[in-house]
Structure 1
Amino acid sequence: MDTMRERFASVTSRLLDEDPRLAVVLADIGVDGFAAAARRHPDRVVNVGIREQLLIGVGGGLALTGLRPIVHTFASFLVERPFEQVKLDFGHQGVGGVLVSAGASYDWPSGGFTHMAPGDVALLDTLDDWTVHVPGHPDEAEALLRHAAAAGDDRVYVRLSVQTNGAPRAVDGAHFLRLREGRGGVVVAVGPLLDNVLAATEGMDVTVLYATTVRPFDGEALRAATGAATADVVIVEPYLAGTSTRSANDALADRPHRVLGLGVGRRELRRYGQLDEHLAAHGLDPRGLRERIAGFLTAPARA
């Protein structure tokens, strides 16, 4: 099976053939995947070199001409390093585009903390009108990329990862999917953490929702899953823990509820290790998730 990033390159190359409005902007990262597309469309595949602020600036400039730019590099270089340009060159100028990241929170541990971006979605949350997709499988990545490319002039962030679930789900770029029914609480699994959540909650009386589009947050799906009574909700995200708890609290503001946000911790892990070791260290492996989910759902609510 190809990776999400490989699927991104192949699908986007085909989209360039199909839609003359699309353009791709790169900063050396991922250039090989677009070599053939660059030969076919030298005016719409642009490599600015290792200049991430320019990467975003060129994307915003292309959008001003009427093109729909698809901008790609590692998440830490796409959202964190050029954040001022994301804020101004897209948001302040009122133009749209598609930011597609790789690397996720710690996909390449040996790259060190410079190549890790667990705070990317939380950082984008400080800006207005960004749609955020977090696919959990290459097929979902393709569906969400096609959705983003055709999304008019919207501002979209697509967060790719080497982590993947075993099977794709039919995602629509908007709504959460209800995969299990239960009465003891609701667990929202985001993107590539779904399989770990399903394994962790096996045999537990909980509803499991699957989220691949986290902004806008599907509050209606959460409300429908919790019902009208007191709600216990756990959100399991592959980035900074607690990133979506405010959205869940807002969705349930008119009813008694508790929300636990699980995800990547704030403490920097300074040993490279392997990806699965980072998952375990942050409690995002099935064993760690089961312990924390069960502990939260069985703990009495405080008065």
Structure 2
Amino acid sequence: MDTMRDRFIATATRLLDEDPRLAVVLAEISRDGFDEAARRHPDRLINVGIREQLLIGVGGGLALAGVRPIVHTFAAFLVERPFEQVKLDFGHQGVGGVLVSAGGSYDWPAGGFTHMAPGDVALMDTLDGWAVHVPGHPDEAEALLRHAAAGDGRDYVRLSLQSNSRARPLIPAEGRTGTGTGTGFRAGFATVREGRGAVVIAVGPMLDNVLAATEGLDTTVLYATTVRPFDGEALRRAVAALTGDAADVVLVEPYLAGTSTAAANDALPTTPHRVLGLGVARRELRAYGELADHLAGHGLDPRSLRERITTFLAR
């Protein structure tokens, strides 16, 4: 199976052929994969070199000129390093674009902490009007990229090397809903498993681990590939189907733990509830290891997740 990043390169190349309003802006990362696109569309495939602030500035400038930019590099260099440009050149200027990251929280451990961005979604959460998409499979990455490219809002698509074993269908929409979304899909949490004891929300590539961790437990599992806007209505429906006077909600996210706990709390203003936010810990894991080692180190492997979830539910 190809990776999400492979699929992004192939899909973005086809999108340049299909839609003349699109441009791809790079900062060296993934440059070699776009050689053919650069030959076919030299005016719409722009590589600024290792200049991440310029990367975002060029994307914002293109958007001001009526172009729909697809801007790509590692998450640490797309969100964290040029955050001021993301805030001003897109948000303050009131223009849209598609930011597509690779690297995620710990996809390349040998690169060290400079190439990890577990806080990227939390950082984007401080800005107004961004839709945040976290696909869990290359097929979902392609669908969400096409969805975002067809729109005119501000979209952040977070790719990862970690992938679920199979793609899940995105939720169809009758029309455009939510900031930053295109036609064909709407932001929403899909029900993968139904239960009456608790609700567990699995974000993107965490779904397979969550399903393994909750096997045999009386839990509803919701699957989120778009986390902003947060689907409070789906959470309220799932909570309403639980037994008991109070609700337990567990969020399992592939980035900073607790990023969406406030959104979950806000979705349940009149319901007695508890929320457990699981994700990447604030502490830095300083040993390189492999991706699987970082999952286990942050308690996001199936065994650790089951222990943490069952302990929370038993309290």
Same fold (TM over 0.5): yes
Which residue pairs with 1:193 in the alignment? 206
Q: 2:62 is paired with a residue of what secondary structure?
A: helix
| 2:175 match | none
Quote the Cα distance in structure 2 between the aligned partners of 1:292 and 1:135: 24
Residues 118-177 of structure 1: per-residue CA shift (max 9 Å, x gap): 0000000000000000000000000000000001x2000000000000000001351100
Q: Which amino acid aligns with 1:220?
A: E
Instruction: Report the equivalent of 1:157.
Output: 156
Amino acid aligned to 1:259 = V
Aligned partner of 1:179: which letter? Answer: V
Give the structure-2-normalised TM-score: 0.94
Q: What is aligned with 2:226?
A: 213
The answer to whether the aligner puts 1:107 opposite 2:107 as a matched pair is yes
Corresponding residue of 1:230: 246
What is the distance in 2 between the residues matched to 1:190 and 1:255?
Answer: 23
Paired residues for 1:80-99 under 5 Å: 80-99=80-99
Alignment match, 1:66? 66
Q: What amino acid sits opposite 1:34 in the alignment?
A: F
Aligned partners of 1:115 and 1:180: how far apart in 2? 35
Per the alignment, residue 167 of structure 1 pairs with: 166
How far apart, in 2, do the equivalents of 1:56 and 1:181 lie? Answer: 42
Percent identity reads 79
For 1:193-239, what per-residue CA distance to the aligned partner results, in whole angstroms no more than 9, with x for missing partners? Answer: 10000000000000000000000000000000000742110000000
**Whole-Å Cα distance in 1 between the matches of residues 259 and 10 of structure 2?**
31
Q: Which of 278, 287, 292 is equivalent to 1:262?
A: 278
What is the deviation of 1:255?
A: 1.1
Unaligned residue ranges in structure 1 (runs of 5+): none
TM-aligned CA deviation for residue 297 of structure 1? 1.0
| Number of residue pairs matched by the alignment | 298
Cα deviation digits, residues 39-81 of structure 1 (max 9, x gap): 1110000000000000000000000000000000000000000
**Residues 96-135 of structure 1 deviation map (CA, whole Å, 9 limit, x = unaligned):** 0000000000000000000000000000000000000000
Equivalent position of 1:51 in the other structure: 51
> Which runs of 5 or more residues in structure 2 are unaligned?
171-184
Q: How much has 1:240 moved relative to structure 2? A: 0.1
Supply the distance in 2 between the matched residues of 1:258 and 1:212 (Cα, whole angstroms): 23
Distance 2:16 2:232 in 1: 34
Q: What are the within-5 Å matches in structure 2 for residues 168-183 of structure 1? A: 168-171=167-170, 172-183=185-196
Give the superposition deviation at 1:253.
1.1
2:9 is matched with which residue?
9
Question: Are residues 173 and 139 of structure 1, via their aligned partners in 2, closer, same or farther at CA, if it must alter by over 3 Å?
Answer: farther
| Equivalent residue, structure 2, for 1:21 | 21
Distance in 2 of aligned mates of 1:145 and 1:297:
36
Q: Distance in 2 between matches of 1:213 and 1:295?
A: 28
CA distance in 2, matches of 1:263, 1:15: 33
Query: 1:182, 1:19 → 2: CA distance?
Result: 44
CA distance in 2, matches of 1:173, 1:60: 25
SS in 1 for 2:165: coil
In the alignment, the residues of structure 2 paired with residue 287 and residue 72 of structure 1 have an alpha-carbon distance, to the nearest angstrom, of 34
For each residue in 1:3-55, what CA deviation from the matched residue of structure 2 results, as whole angstroms up to 9, or x when unmatched? 10000000110010010000000000011111101111100000000000000
CA distance in 2, matches of 1:32, 1:25: 13
Distance in 2, Cα, partners of 1:203 & 1:271: 34
Residue 215 of structure 2 is aligned to residue 202 of structure 1: yes
Cα RMSD, aligned residues only: 0.7
- Aligned residue runs from structure 1 range 142-153, under 5 A: 142-151=142-151, 153=152
Q: Residues of 1 paired with 2:83 and 2:191: CA distance?
A: 34
Letter in 1 for 2:220: T
Q: Matched residue of 2:156: which SS?
A: strand
